[in-house]
Amino acid sequence: MNKVLCILLCWSMLTYAQSKVEPDLRDYLEFRTSKGRYSGVTGIFKNGEMIFEYIGGEANQSWSIPNSPETRFNLASVTKIFTATGIGILIDRGSLKLDDKIIDHFPQFPNAEIAKSVSIKALLSHTSGLSDFFFERAYLESDKYRLRSLADYDRFLASLRKGEVPGDRILYSNSNYIILGRIIELITGISYYDFIKEEIFRKAGMPDTDFYEADRVVKNLAEGYSTDSQASMEFGVPHDKKVRKNNYMKAVKGMPAGGAYSTTKDMHTFIQALINGKLLKPSTLRTMTRQKQGGYGLGFQVYEQNGIPLWGHSGGFYGVSTMVFHLPSSGHTFVSLTNSDFAAQPVFDRFINLLTGTETYQPVTMQAEMIKGFGGLFEVYEGEMLARQISIEAREDRLIFDKELEFYPIGADRFFDIDNDLFTLNFTRDQNGKIDGFERTDNGRFHQKARWIDPAEERKLTALNIADDVLEQFLGEYQFGEDGMMAGHKPQISIDQGGLLIDNMMKFLPFDRDKFFMKDDMGMQLHFQRNPEGDITGIHVMRQKAIVGRVKKLN
């Protein structure tokens, strides 16, 4: 093909794809908002100018106060790019280097071995191997209304553990950024909060961004609303699917790992200040957004999606979902700040899919009586999660897949995942027209086929009544191997009301000698391994009959 013709063809295809972005993305956002899956503000900017804005949901549901462009949202882990920028500023000043160790700037760090071996670069890139104390009982059960300064977190640092991180991966840990924040304080002699406010928020021109304390009166602050069942395992929230505010799950004040508040306009201003060299030297920004491992640079997520390079950060917590990303090849900056569970990521994915001309799905209306015919119990016979039994519950306008995922109709026998544009459910029928199975796929790496089974075929396990002193034999220090899930991770195992609690989140109940099943998913199991002498040597993490993770007992 003629080179000029090829360029013109590619340009016309991109122009056509971009022309579809605004109407399709708006329709998608309105659909998600109408189903209670989106509450927030999404802004798309190109070359410094806003080209799209959508506002949906409420900042305060108790008083029916709608979100607005002035609404300040909790950023969750997007806050990490402020901390990384603060470190970059100190690098530009010559106050520290990437190869410096924790001990060089934080001599009172409670673990000397970690302090001497972990570098600033390893903290920024999540390659330090440090455990995440945010998931440990000491933090989860702490009085978070007393965590008002970074020094208040020092007591959690003594429990940190260090594991090995494979060369092509990261071990994401909020602990890294608490330490970086303390290092900023110790180098500058002022509080982390004052430094970030003066050197970033004020210099960039971000009047509506700060670390607001929860018990202060602050205008236009969005409350976070969650129905995530996992909150019951971490914070004791009732597992009843009711919408609950996240006030009592988060610290009273944000910190270097997450919890600052901002608006879409301010976050775009921040990205522009980075690009224009207002905050960092261009060479420093290039280093932080180009050196990458496991999809992460130095304080920024750095990867490609649908072939498009991008950098920025995502954030998530109960009642918080945020995405702030810059696309250098096209000049776009995407900012979606929300106050509901898992609301921003699907919108970003839809934006990228529309921008690149990837197929997207539009929901259709289907009568409740027709939807009812798709419910039932199925068993996977091909592809991912082989032999797993999956329940599909029919609701008035959608299907609840495996108790959690929501699929909406896009055709006669087709449904799509409201939270993941690529996943579809395609049902099959027998010669009599009765549903006899389904195929679930993302048209890429994931593929799964299942057949309909009679409810009488459902496999059920009964939890055994085992005393806590007997369960103590399963405690100890463990580490995941590198040939499966969570490579290098050191899980924390504790006893919880007749079962085992993993990382203070996942409850496993005993059903046989040395075998435990997950409370809300019997297909996920822990099979403890013993040597000939009867000593526990490790764990096989099972998904049905397949080993998906191998865990070694240390010492």
> What are the angstrom distances between the C-alpha of 81 and each of 162, 189, 260, 274, 314?
23, 21, 11, 11, 10
How far is it, in rounded angstroms, from Cα 264 to Cα 55?
11
Q: Which residues contact 433 (CB under 8 A, 6 or more apart)?
A: none
How far is it, in rounded angstroms, from Cα 23 to Cα 54?
11
Identify the helix (H) or strand (E) that includes residue 539: strand 536-543
How far is it, in rounded angstroms, from Cα 173 to Cα 457?
42
Q: Residue 310: phi, psi to the nearest 5?
A: -155, 160
Which DSSP state fits 340? B
Q: Which amino acid does the sequence have at 61?
A: Q
Tokens of 261: 């508040």
pLDDT digits over 374-386, tens only? 999 999 999 988 8
- The pLDDT of residue 9: 41
pLDDT digits over 437-470, tens only? 999 999 888 999 999 999 999 888 899 999 999 9
> What's the burial of 77, exposed, middle or buried (CB within 10 Å: 0-12/13-18/19+)?
buried
List the Cα angle 436/460/423 in 5-degree steps: 45
Of 250, 178, 181, which is closest to residue 213 (Cα–Cα)? 250
Which DSSP state fits 554? P
Stretches in the chain below the pLDDT threshold 70:
1-20, 231-236, 239, 482-484, 487-488, 544
Instruction: For the chain, list the domains and their CATH numbers.
Output: 73-355 (3.40.710.10), 368-457 (2.40.128.50), 468-553 (2.40.128)
Tokens of 381: 């016979």
SS3 530: strand
Q: Can you name the residues that pair with 405 across neighbouring β-strands?
A: 401
Half-sphere exposure of 238 (CA within 13 A, CB side): 6
Q: What is the DSSP string of 460-504?
A: --------HHHHGGG-S-EEE-SSSTTTT----EEEETTEEEETT
Long-range own/partner contacts, residues 490-498 (CB < 8 A, 24 or more apart): 490/131, 490/161, 490/163, 491/551, 492/131, 492/135, 492/136, 492/137, 494/137, 495/468, 495/471, 498/463, 498/465, 498/466, 498/468, 498/471
Tokens of 540: 């096989």
Of 220, 232, 214, 186, which is closest to residue 87 (Cα–Cα)? 186
